[in-house]
């Protein structure tokens, strides 16, 4: 069955939504989150603030829409670098981790919106819409590579029985929701690796490593190499 053609009205609306998101992002980068308001966006676009309500019910819904687009943008960049690295999961692990850092360092204000929830009432894209959401798609850019490393060369992980019950219950829910079908010990190790990769990038962006490091890249590479060893990655 053929897909119905998008109407001109729908195309115009989609183009306006993209323009609104671009205006919001421009303000986010130039003014910070405090400078992003419906009134400021309307002024940037030459519209009235009331006109924006035809597209977004409030500022939070606009920022959530922008945030989901940013997750997709970052994920697409990561996946392009993964594909350029070839088919070996070890090479892909290095590629996606470096790509995540590169995109994040180049877009610190966008990173802050995505990961720090600086706006009260803003939905978390990492939880919204479940497996259909942008946050889940982003997570699977890493999860798919982690999963290949495990399936092709299983590495030592904690036995499920040794994991504290309070942690095991949460990991079990995560594994079920994500449809991963992996032992809890694997999920724990994957999460530990993500904490290290994300954590050092966040510390770099927020300037919390300046007390010791003027250049974070060598430390990032050392952490990444340790993560690769934990996951049995051979490069």
Q: In this structure, are 196 and 162 located in the same domain?
A: yes
Assess whether pLDDT exceeds 50 at residue 154.
yes
Once rounded to an integer, what is the mean pLDDT over residues 107-122? 82
Report pLDDT for 227. Answer: 95
Assess whether pLDDT exceeds 90 at residue 20.
yes
Report pLDDT for 1. Answer: 46
Report pLDDT for 42. Answer: 93
* CA-wise closest residue to 104 among 64, 127, 138: 138
Q: How far apart are CA 64 and CA 67, in angstroms?
A: 5
Once rounded to an integer, what is the mean pLDDT over residues 141-165? 90
43-86 confidence digits (pLDDT tens):
999 988 888 999 999 998 999 999 999 999 999 999 999 999 99
Q: In this structure, are 216 and 117 located in the same domain?
A: yes
SS3 of residue 1 by DSSP: coil
Report pLDDT for 72. Answer: 95
Interacting residues of 69 by C-beta distance below 8 A, sequence separation 6+? 21, 134
CATH assignment of the domain containing 2? 1.10.10
Selected residue with higher pLDDT from 132 and 207: 207
23-46 confidence digits (pLDDT tens):
999 999 999 988 999 999 999 999
Assess whether pLDDT exceeds 60 at residue 189.
yes
Structural domain total, the chain: 2
Q: In this structure, are 157 and 93 located in the same domain?
A: yes
Interacting residues of 193 by C-beta distance below 8 A, sequence separation 6+? 146, 227, 230, 231
Which of the residue ranges 41-55, 109-123, 192-206 has the most confident prediction, judged by mean pLDDT?
192-206
What's the domain range around 14?
1-56
**Dihedral over alpha carbons 151, 156, 159, 165 (to 10 degrees):** -90
Report pLDDT for 9. Answer: 82
CATH assignment of the domain containing 142? 1.10.357.10
Assess whether pLDDT exceeds 80 at residue 121.
no
Assess whether pLDDT exceeds 90 at residue 140.
no
CA distances, 34 to each of 6, 109, 206 (Å):
36, 11, 17
Within a domain: 127 = yes
Q: In this structure, are 124 and 201 located in the same domain?
A: yes
**This model's pTM is above 0.85:** yes
Region of 56 on the Ramachandran plot (φ > 0 left; ψ -120 to 50 alpha; else beta): beta
Assess whether pLDDT exceeds 50 at residue 198.
yes
Q: In this structure, are 75 and 183 located in the same domain?
A: yes
């Amino acid at each position: 069955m053929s897909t119905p053609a998008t109407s001109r009205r729908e195309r115009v609306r989609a183009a306006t939504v993209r323009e609104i998101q671009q205006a919001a992002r421009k303000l986010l980068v130039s003014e910070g989150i405090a400078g992003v308001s419906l009134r400021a966006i309307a002024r940037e676009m030459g519209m009235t603030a009331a006109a924006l309500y035809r597209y977004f019910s409030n500022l939070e819904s606009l920022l959530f829409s922008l945030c989901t687009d940013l997750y997709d943008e970052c994920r697409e960049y990561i996946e392009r670098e993964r594909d350029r690295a070839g088919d070996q999961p070890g090479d892909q692990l290095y590629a996606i981790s470096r790509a995540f850092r590169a995109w994040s360092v180049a877009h610190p204000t966008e990173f802050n919106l995505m990961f720090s929830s600086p706006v009260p009432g803003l939905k978390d894209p990492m939880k919204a819409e479940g497996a259909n959401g942008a946050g889940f798609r982003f997570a699977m850019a890493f999860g798919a590579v982690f999963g290949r490393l495990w399936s092709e060369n299983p590495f030592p992980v904690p036995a499920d029985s040794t994991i504290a019950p309070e942690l095991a219950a949460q990991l079990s829910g995560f594994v079920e929701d994500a449809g991963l079908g992996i032992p809890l010990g694997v999920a724990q190790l994957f999460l530990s690796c993500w904490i290290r990769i994300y954590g050092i990038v966040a510390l770099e962006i927020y300037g919390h490593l300046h007390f010791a490091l003027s250049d974070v890249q060598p430390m990032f590479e050392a952490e990444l190499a340790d993560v690769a060893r934990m996951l049995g990655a051979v490069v």
